[in-house]
């Protein structure tokens, strides 16, 4: 290394050092500490007592952990595809050259500006069984169905019925698709118009153009959004926590891994067990992200390549 | 391109940042205002309850010129105290709930008050036994009561009259409660519930204490949970009868339409539920939110077996504690002892419209109190059968599980026995782990506390 290069290196390190310090103090240290705490009985105020793998054995045998994991995975598996299809569909519609396009875009983006806490409180009312807006909209359709088919369908009690609570949360999640729509819209603007022109000259239908041009050209954006959604969905905490007033929901139907970690760490003072849970969540996120990246590499079409 | 900031200057800048960071981490000097030592006091209360304590704090600050108490309302004060104590910067005095005591004491988060309290002239015999008991754990005194409460049955007299019941005669046994319940419950044409006499999940705040009304308790006070004992079996069987009689989903559907507790849509005020278990504070909300002319009564909650003359109640209390590692324990105790003086305790409890935790109650307190059933609550607190709320080192896990399983039983999704046995297996294991940890650290902890109370 020449003196000039060394000088540049020192300058570079000096300028990046605030981030390095932040990373060491607020990311790496907590990660290493939580690995250690996960092997201990630790309650924050007393010294950790080494337990070996006991917390992991307990976790394996803990039905509440499995319930929280199941809820987390089911939520991610349903909410991510649903919100992806919905936001791509909305983005394609909002990309059509119609009057008031900007106004429609703003309207669809606005809900994503609502903070998670306000959103949860709002949906607590919207999903209320007897009085909520969602059921008031549903009831006329259910009445029609009941009349037509002589059945007795009732509007669900979203937040009190263990069968519907998770679906209520998924519905709540769709409220915030505006952010993804904006990213898809930006991606759609990037698709070269000449590709559509050439396809039109070849006599393709709108659907064929969507499947063979739009989707491949949009695939890097879809990949990014899906990856971010997986990470976000697996860490779901604020909305179900508020929806259930800090509880687990009926029959623990709204207990997620992140909530269970929080309960163990800050309600039950089982920081060691919470660290073991957090590490499991970390590995789950890393694992699913790696699978997504590996799969994405094969399916994503980069126009620059 | 020429950098204005040379590498050595950048490093010096970073060094300065590091120094400032470290300086902010080092213990601060005693904070003083006009030469007076500042005590940090964190409380959970807001609104009129905060104002009542603020007046007592002002009285203390005006009563002497050595200490100044800085009073701060803190949300989720129990968690924040835990984190501040773990970080080595706890406040000097904190207002917690008595249910926090076992886990906080076992985790060495609190300072034992035995010596400090004795030195400050605080005497056990000045307090109603149940409240002193709530402040003690494993043979040490950890707190003093600030504003206490006991639970009682509250009933809507208008709904009683409409159902053909005597509005002055509340049920005295669980069997009577259910007879009244059947008379007070109304259904809509479609079979859904329009109103109900009583449902255990409204408000459902004392599920962990309910076995007491069936003649038992939730644990043996040392290592064993009693979910398998007869009273708990009876309690769960009683719960199981609700979905059979009223329909699980129907009860939850009715409950889904209830408004916020602190609002005119509270189901007790708007005639959706006729009988509820509530604490002494309920009158504050009735005065503020219930419709004009709302008539209610308050009496001991009915038991499975009647015990004339000695009513049962569950007592709980807000408490004042000194966190472990607090820097001015003597001055903190001076403030707590001031609050504990009869005059100041009564001022605080009057301001919050609660009962007094003290044995001696002044005529002024009784005459100025706005609660129409003050005597009922005060005599419940005085009863020889007044019991402290569940005092368990795994309280939060236990209470959380109890709500989950009780709701599953009330929904009709789980049988009483299955719920009880599943919960017992989970919670006994959690308790065993805490007991095991306690047994490991107890000799050192107790020796430390002994040293602290006999310095």
Q: What is the CATH number of the domain that holds A229?
A: 1.10.3720.10
pLDDT above 70 covers a percentage of chain B that reads: 93
B21 touches chain A (CB under 8 A): no
Residues B288 and B420 both lie in one domain: yes
Average pLDDT in the A238-245 region? 90
Measured on CA atoms in the order A18, A20, A21, A25, is the torsion positive or negative? positive
DSSP-H helix ranges across B199-320: 230-246, 248-256, 282-289
Residues B193 and B125 both lie in one domain: no
Residue A285: per-residue pLDDT: 95
Give dist(CA B407, CA B419) in Å, integer.
Answer: 10
pLDDT tens digits along A202-231? 999 999 999 999 999 999 999 999 999 999
pLDDT tens digits along A108-119? 889 888 888 899
Please choose, from the candidates A260, A17, A219, the residue with its C-alpha nearest in 3D space to the C-alpha of residue B12.
A17
In a domain, B217, yes or no: yes
In a domain, A28, yes or no: no
Q: Which domain holds residue B171?
A: 150-314+390-434
Q: Pairing mode, if any, of strands B193-195 and B186-187?
A: antiparallel
Residues B119 and B186 both lie in one domain: no
Residues B268 and B184 both lie in one domain: yes
- Using the predicted structure, report yes or no on whether residue B441 has a pLDDT greater than 90: no
In a domain, A282, yes or no: yes
Residue A129: per-residue pLDDT: 83
> Tokens at residue A191, please?
């698709």
The shortest CB-CB distance from A45 to any of B108, B256, B433 is to B108
In a domain, A1, yes or no: no
Residues B204 and B243 both lie in one domain: yes
- Using the predicted structure, report yes or no on whether residue B453 has a pLDDT greater than 80: no
**E runs forming strands in B311-415:** 313-321, 386-388
Backbone torsion region of residue B267, taken as left when φ is above 0, otherwise alpha when ψ lies between -120 and 50, otherwise beta: alpha
Q: Which residues of A28-38 are buried (b: 16+ CB within 10 A; e: fewer)?
A: eeeeeebeebb
Q: Count A/B contacts: CB-CB distance under 8 Å.
A: 88
Give dist(CA A181, CA A193) in Å, integer.
Answer: 20
* Beta carbons within 10 angstroms of residue B61's beta carbon: 18
The shortest CB-CB distance from A45 to any of B109, B252, B254 is to B109
Chain centre to alpha carbon of residue A288? 13
> Which of A293-302, B153-162, B354-363 bottoms out in mean pLDDT, i.e. has the lowest?
A293-302
B440–A49 CB contact, under 8 Å: yes
B411–A43 CB contact, under 8 Å: no
This prediction's pTM: 0.86
Q: Which residues of B touch A157 (CB under 8 A)?
A: 249, 252-253, 256
Residues B210 and B270 both lie in one domain: yes
In a domain, B20, yes or no: no
Mean pLDDT of chain A: 91
- Using the predicted structure, report yes or no on whether residue B6 has a pLDDT greater than 60: no
Nearest CA in chain A to B4: A11
In a domain, A44, yes or no: no
pLDDT tens digits along A58-100? 999 999 999 999 999 999 999 999 999 999 999 999 998 888 8
Backbone torsion region of residue A248, taken as left when φ is above 0, otherwise alpha when ψ lies between -120 and 50, otherwise beta: alpha
- Helix B342-351 to helix B329-340 angle, to the nearest 10 degrees? 70
Average pLDDT in the B303-320 region? 92
Give dist(CA A62, CA A69) in Å, integer.
Answer: 11
The shortest CB-CB distance from B249 to any of A157, A248, A267 is to A157
- Which pLDDT band, with edges at 50, 70 and 90, does B5 fall under? low
Nearest CA in chain A to B193: A130
Give dist(CA A288, CA A296) in Å, integer.
Answer: 12
A157–B253 CB contact, under 8 Å: yes
Give dist(CA A145, CA A154) in Å, integer.
Answer: 10
Looking at the structure of chain A, the number of domains it has is: 1
Question: Is there a contact between B7 and A7 (Cβ–Cβ < 8 Å)?
Answer: yes
Question: Is there a contact between B427 and B225 (Cβ–Cβ < 8 Å)?
Answer: yes
Residues B345 and B396 both lie in one domain: no
B275 touches chain A (CB under 8 A): no
A160–B3 CB contact, under 8 Å: no
Residue B455: per-residue pLDDT: 62
> Tokens at residue A147, please?
């009349």
Chain centre to alpha carbon of residue B155? 22
In a domain, B14, yes or no: no
Give dist(CA B354, CA B349) in Å, integer.
Answer: 5
Q: Pairing mode, if any, of strands B140-141 and B186-187?
A: unpaired
Q: Which domain holds residue A186?
A: 63-299
> Tokens at residue B224, please?
């064993």
Residues B206 and B252 both lie in one domain: yes
In a domain, B379, yes or no: yes
pLDDT tens digits along B374-400? 999 999 999 999 999 999 999 999 999
Report which DSSP code applies to B290.
Answer: S
The shortest CB-CB distance from A157 to any of B252, B426, B441 is to B252
The Cα-based distances of B287 to A120, A294, B263, B268 in angstroms read: 30, 64, 11, 13
In a domain, B21, yes or no: no
A43–B85 CB contact, under 8 Å: no
Residues B330 and B256 both lie in one domain: no
Chain A nearest CA to B73, separation (Å): 20
Higher-confidence position of B371 and A131: B371
Residues B246 and B337 both lie in one domain: no
Q: Which residues of A51-77 are buried (b: 16+ CB within 10 A; e: fewer)?
A: beebbbebbeebebbebbbebbbebbe
Higher-confidence position of B24 and B235: B235
Residue B3: per-residue pLDDT: 45
Length of chain B: 455
In a domain, A235, yes or no: yes
The Cα-based distances of B389 to B18, B102, B136, B212 in angstroms read: 49, 12, 13, 10
In a domain, B26, yes or no: no
Chain B nearest CA to A50, separation (Å): 12
> Tokens at residue A162, please?
């263990």
Average pLDDT in the B15-29 region? 58
B14–A43 CB contact, under 8 Å: no
B108 touches chain A (CB under 8 A): yes
B404 touches chain A (CB under 8 A): yes
Beta bridge partners of B196: B273
For residue B322, give the CATH number of its domain: 3.40.190.10
Report which DSSP code applies to B168.
Answer: T
* Beta carbons within 10 angstroms of residue A98's beta carbon: 9
Angle, CA of B158, B163 and B166, to the nearest 5°:
70
Nearest CA in chain A to B13: A14
Give dist(CA A110, CA A51) in Å, integer.
Answer: 50
Looking at the structure of chain B, the number of domains it has is: 2
In a domain, A31, yes or no: no
In a domain, A96, yes or no: yes
> Tokens at residue A261, please?
């970690």
Residue A224: per-residue pLDDT: 92
A269–B107 CB contact, under 8 Å: yes
Residue B1: per-residue pLDDT: 44
3-class secondary structure, B73: strand
Q: Which residues of B touch A43 (CB under 8 A)?
A: 107, 437
B86–A45 CB contact, under 8 Å: yes
Please choose, from the candidates A29, A32, A54, the residue with its C-alpha nearest in 3D space to the C-alpha of residue A41.
A54
- Using the predicted structure, report yes or no on whether residue B15 has a pLDDT greater than 70: no
CA dihedral A49, A50, A55, A57 (to 10 degrees): -140
What Rg, from alpha-carbon coordinates, does chain B have? Answer: 25
In a domain, B264, yes or no: yes
- Using the predicted structure, report yes or no on whether residue A167 has a pLDDT greater than 90: yes
B positions 325-354 inside 8 Å of A (CB)? none
In a domain, A17, yes or no: no
A131–B14 CB contact, under 8 Å: no
CA dihedral B113, B114, B116, B119 (to 10 degrees): 160
Residues B169 and B265 both lie in one domain: yes
Question: Is there a contact between A256 and A243 (Cβ–Cβ < 8 Å)?
Answer: no
Q: Which residues of A touch B400 (CB under 8 A)?
A: 247-248, 263, 267
Nearest CA in chain B to A18: B14
Q: Pairing mode, if any, of strands B144-156 and B36-43?
A: unpaired
Residues B310 and B322 both lie in one domain: no
A17–B85 CB contact, under 8 Å: no
Q: Which residues of A touch B108 (CB under 8 A)?
A: 45-46
Q: What are phi and psi of B279, to 5 degrees?
A: -95, 180
The Cα-based distances of A288 to A71, A234, B353 in angstroms read: 16, 10, 56
Chain A nearest CA to B152, separation (Å): 25
Q: How many CA atoms lie within 13 A of B380 on its CB side?
A: 27
In a domain, B67, yes or no: yes
Length of chain A: 305
């Amino acid at each position: 290394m020449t003196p000039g290069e060394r000088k540049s290196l020192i300058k570079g390190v000096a300028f990046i050092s605030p981030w390095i310090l932040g990373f060491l103090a607020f990311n790496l240290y907590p990660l290493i500490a939580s690995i250690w705490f996960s092997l201990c009985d630790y309650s924050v105020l007393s010294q950790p007592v080494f337990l070996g793998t006991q917390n992991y054995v307990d976790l394996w045998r803990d039905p509440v952990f499995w319930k929280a994991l199941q809820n987390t995975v089911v939520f991610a598996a349903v909410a991510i595809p649903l919100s992806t299809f919905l936001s791509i569909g909305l983005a394609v519609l909002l990309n059509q050259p119609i009057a008031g396009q900007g106004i429609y875009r703003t309207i669809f983006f606005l809900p994503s500006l609502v903070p998670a806490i306000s959103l949860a409180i709002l949906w607590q009312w919207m999903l209320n069984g007897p009085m909520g807006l969602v059921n008031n909209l549903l009831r006329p359709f259910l009445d029609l169905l009941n009349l037509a088919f002589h059945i007795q369908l009732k509007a669900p009690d979203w937040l009190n019925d263990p069968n519907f609570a998770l679906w209520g949360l998924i519905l709540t999640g769709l409220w915030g698709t505006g952010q993804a729509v904006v990213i898809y819209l930006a991606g759609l603007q990037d698709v070269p118009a000449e590709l559509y022109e050439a396809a039109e000259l070849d006599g393709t239908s709108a659907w064929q153009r969507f499947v063979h041009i739009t989707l491949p050209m949009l695939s890097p954006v879809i990949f990014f959004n899906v990856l971010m959604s997986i990470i976000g969905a697996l860490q779901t905490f604020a909305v179900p926590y508020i929806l259930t007033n800090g509880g687990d929901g009926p029959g623990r139907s709204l207990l997620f891994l992140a909530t269970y970690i929080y309960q163990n760490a800050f309600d039950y003072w089982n920081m060691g067990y919470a660290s073991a849970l957090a590490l499991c969540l970390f590995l789950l996120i890393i694992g699913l992200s790696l699978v997504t990246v590996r799969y994405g590499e094969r399916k994503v079409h980069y126009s620059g390549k | 391109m020429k950098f204005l900031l040379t590498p050595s200057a950048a490093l010096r800048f970073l060094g300065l940042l590091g120094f400032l960071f470290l300086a902010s981490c080092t213990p601060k000097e005693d904070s003083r205002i006009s030469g007076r030592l500042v005590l940090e006091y964190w409380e959970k209360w807001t609104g009129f309850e905060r104002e009542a304590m603020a007046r007592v704090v002002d009285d203390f600050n005006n009563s002497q010129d050595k200490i100044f108490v800085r009073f701060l309302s803190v949300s989720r004060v129990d968690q924040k105290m835990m984190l501040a104590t773990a970080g080595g910067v706890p406040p000097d005095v904190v207002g917690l709930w008595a249910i926090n005591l076992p886990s906080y004491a076992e985790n060495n988060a609190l300072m034992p008050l035995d010596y400090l309290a004795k030195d400050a002239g605080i005497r056990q015999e000045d307090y109603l036994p149940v409240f002193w008991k709530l402040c003690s754990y494993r043979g040490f005194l950890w707190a003093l009561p600030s504003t206490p409460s006991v639970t009682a049955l509250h009933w809507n007299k208008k709904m009683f009259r409409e159902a053909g019941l005597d509005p002055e005669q509340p049920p005295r046994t669980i069997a009577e409660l259910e007879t009244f319940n059947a008379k007070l419950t109304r259904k809509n044409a479609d079979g859904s519930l329009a109103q109900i006499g009583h449902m255990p999940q409204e408000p459902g705040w004392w599920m962990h204490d309910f076995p007491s009304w069936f003649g038992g308790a939730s644990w043996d006070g040392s290592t064993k949970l009693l979910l398998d004992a007869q009273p708990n079996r009876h309690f769960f069987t009683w719960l199981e009868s609700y979905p059979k009689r009223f329909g699980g989903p129907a009860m939850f559907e009715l409950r889904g339409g209830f408004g916020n507790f602190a609002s005119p849509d509270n189901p007790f005020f708007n005639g959706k539920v006729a009988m509820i278990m509530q604490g002494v504070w309920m009158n504050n909300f009735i005065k503020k939110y219930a419709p004009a002319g709302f008539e209610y009564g308050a009496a001991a909650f009915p038991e499975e077996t009647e015990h004339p003359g000695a009513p049962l109640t569950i007592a709980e209390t807000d408490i004042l504690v000194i966190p472990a590692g607090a820097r001015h324990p003597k001055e903190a105790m001076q403030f707590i002892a001031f609050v504990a003086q009869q005059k100041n305790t009564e001022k605080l409890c009057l301001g919050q419209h609660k009962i007094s935790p003290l044995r001696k109650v002044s005529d002024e307190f009784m005459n100025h109190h706005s609660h129409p059933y003050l005597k009922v609550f005060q005599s419940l607190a005085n009863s020889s059968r007044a019991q402290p709320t569940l005092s368990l080192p795994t309280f939060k896990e236990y209470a959380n599980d109890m709500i989950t399983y009780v709701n599953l039983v009330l929904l009709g999704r789980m049988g009483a026995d299955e719920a009880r046995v599943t919960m017992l297996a989970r919670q006994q294991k959690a308790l065993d782990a805490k007991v095991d940890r306690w047994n490991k650290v107890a000799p050192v902890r107790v020796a430390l506390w002994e040293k602290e109370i006999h310095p």
